[in-house]
Structure 1
Amino acid sequence: MIASPPSRRAVLGGLGATFAASPLLARTSSSPTLLRAAAMRADVAVLRRAYAELHPGIHRYNTPREIDARFDALDQSVALPMTLRAFYLTLSRFLATVRCGHSYANSYNQRREVAAALFEAPDRLPFDFLWIGDAMVVTADPFATGISPGSRILAVNGRSASAILAALMPLARADGHNDAKRRRLLSVQGDDRYETFDIFFSMLFGQDRYQLTVEDPSGRRRTATVAGVSLAQRRTTAHAGVDASGDTPVWTIERRGDAALLSMPSWGLYDSKWDWRGWLDQAVDRLVAERVPRLVVDLRANEGGSTAVTRLPNGW
């Protein structure tokens, strides 16, 4: 059945795109709801016009001819009806070619029904991990699977970890050729309420259960079968990301010997009711009064936000 046209903001509301639809769609249905080609092409036309007129870095890593060719290919790739997931992948793959870390189909900007359809399948891998090179290294086992931190996941359902990473990298956002940032985004560390890895792994490879090939820290190899976890379960973990929507402090400051460490994991305080200016002024006033000679600002998890935050208080 062909669905009614999606709102022009249904997926483009967060902005994200892809160069070509991926054939690797893990979850299919005998009668999936399809988006109309005319509606998708209209959305692509909006995206093309918006990027041509508004994106300041559209030609930083791509020539005008390359961008035009990619938009032409994107338009052709949605010439036939496709599922919402396939459209999201198509958009995401395209936007990754812009090589702008803020050009992507933002999961937080989707309507509730769109977010539920795209991001809430109970098929997340039930552990935290980092990509170290092409190795998937477990860092935490919050759901008690018995896979200890330090273990390497060599394969998932027979597909090697390196092959999974290779399939996901063209979908991940980052500035320029910063593949280290792409690997970090494709790790699962509880940095965000929507993990980039969870979104794209689900769309390409998601299942209810997984057979894993695991190499323990001792070097012993074994197989393990684990169940996928839901978005709600993922968010119950103790380090489920920064919530800047309330009135509690998002940053911390602490003494480390003769220095102070100011941790600022986010500057996205648009919806926050917290008086961050007053908090920062008071914190720095204390450090000045105590004659602390050094201030270290930790921005490692910070992806930006309000430019007003970049001003340190007077006296420092």
Structure 2
Amino acid sequence: MFTLRALIRMIPGTILTVSFIMLCRPCAAQDSPLNKKFSPAQLKADLQVFSDSLLLLHPAIYRYHSKDVIRHAFDVAKRKMDSPLTATEFYNLTAPLIGLAGDVHSSIELPASIHQAAAGQALLFPFDVRIIGDEIIVASNNSADSTINPGTRILSVNGQSASQVIRRLSVMFSSDGTNTTFKKRMAEQRFAFQLPYAYGFPT
């Protein structure tokens, strides 16, 4: 379930009205790859391979952040792997790490099976959006609720303000240097997938 708080323009030119919308979606099947959990040993082994590869192969890993900062970030992620995690939970811990390199050509992607399962089980956020500054605007409505029109401003999702959601999704992507515009564009383009990946699938 996604809980939205939105400002909806009921009639062009009229005052904006606050509305609360509950979007109920099917839950992930028990045998879905979305639910498969990996042991702490598996998670930490993959994290070590990732860390070793990044530090060994990236030509300018410390250009924007010091060695201590990057090592600390990896240590924090590792400490959060003391219990089994799903692939998306592991992704949430590791994707922000590669962004520390400040290199748009470096990224982490989930397996295609995860994307296919999420799409096939109708677990995606049912709107295309545009991110403008710290605002999330509905660009098109793919849900069964026809009252939500393009131009609707989403104020919060699951209790998280629009600006919090944007920050959470943006850190999952890499960009050159400290550029944030590209990260927002990526979050915008992949919003339907990234939102449930970050905040969990409907239950």
The TM-score normalised by the length of structure 1 is 0.47
Matched with 1:97 is 100
Matched with 1:205 is 199
Matched with 2:19 is none
- Could you tell me which of 91, 102, 106 is aligned with 2:109? 106
Aligned pair in 2 of structure 1 residues 42, 181: CA closer, same or farther (>3 Å)?
same
Matched with 2:15 is none
Aligned pair in 2 of structure 1 residues 123, 115: CA closer, same or farther (>3 Å)?
closer
Aligned pair in 2 of structure 1 residues 118, 65: CA closer, same or farther (>3 Å)?
farther
Where does structure 2 lack aligned partners over 5 or more consecutive residues?
1-26
Matched with 2:72 is 69
Map 1:127-166 to 2 at 5 A.
127-141=127-141, 145-166=146-167
Residue-by-residue CA offset, 1:230-282 (whole Å, 9 max, x unaligned): xxxxxxxxxxxxxxxxxxxxxxxxxxxxxxxxxxxxxxxxxxxxxxxxxxxxx
State the AA in 2 paired with 1:55: H
State the AA in 2 paired with 1:198: A
Q: Is the 8 A contact 1:95 1:103 kept in 2?
A: yes
CA-based RMSD:
3.2
Matched with 1:174 is 175
More helix by share: 2
Q: CA deviation at 1:118?
A: 6.2
Structure ID, larger Rg: 1
The TM-score normalised by the length of structure 2 is 0.69
Cα distance in 1 for partners of 2:141, 2:89 equals: 31
SS of 2:37's partner is coil
Cα distance in 2 for partners of 1:52, 1:158 equals: 37
Aligned pair in 2 of structure 1 residues 28, 141: CA closer, same or farther (>3 Å)?
closer
Matched with 1:124 is 124
Q: Is the 8 A contact 1:122 1:208 kept in 2?
A: no
SS of 2:95's partner is helix
- Could you tell me which of 83, 86, 98 is aligned with 1:83? 86
Aligned pair in 2 of structure 1 residues 33, 149: CA closer, same or farther (>3 Å)?
closer
Map 1:266-285 to 2 at 5 A.
none
Q: Which of structures 1 and 2 has the larger relative contact order (alpha carbons within 8 angstroms, sep 6+)?
A: 2
Matched with 2:39 is 36
Aligned pair in 2 of structure 1 residues 160, 52: CA closer, same or farther (>3 Å)?
closer
Matched with 1:281 is none
Cα distance in 1 for partners of 2:69, 2:167 equals: 23
Residue-by-residue CA offset, 1:167-207 (whole Å, 9 max, x unaligned): 3232232222111111111114xxxxxx2x23321123356
Cα distance in 1 for partners of 2:151, 2:38 equals: 43
Aligned pair in 2 of structure 1 residues 155, 65: CA closer, same or farther (>3 Å)?
closer
Q: CA deviation at 1:124?
A: 2.5
Aligned pair in 2 of structure 1 residues 126, 71: CA closer, same or farther (>3 Å)?
closer
Residue-by-residue CA offset, 1:61-80 (whole Å, 9 max, x unaligned): 11122222223333333243
Residue-by-residue CA offset, 1:109-130 (whole Å, 9 max, x unaligned): x2x5444456655233333221
Where does structure 1 lack aligned partners over 5 or more consecutive residues?
1-26, 189-194, 210-316
Residue-by-residue CA offset, 1:91-119 (whole Å, 9 max, x unaligned): 11222333322322224xx2x54444566
- Structure 1 runs (4+) greater than 4 angstroms displaced: 27-32, 117-121, 206-209
Cα distance in 2 for partners of 1:102, 1:132 equals: 24
Pairs aligned (count): 173
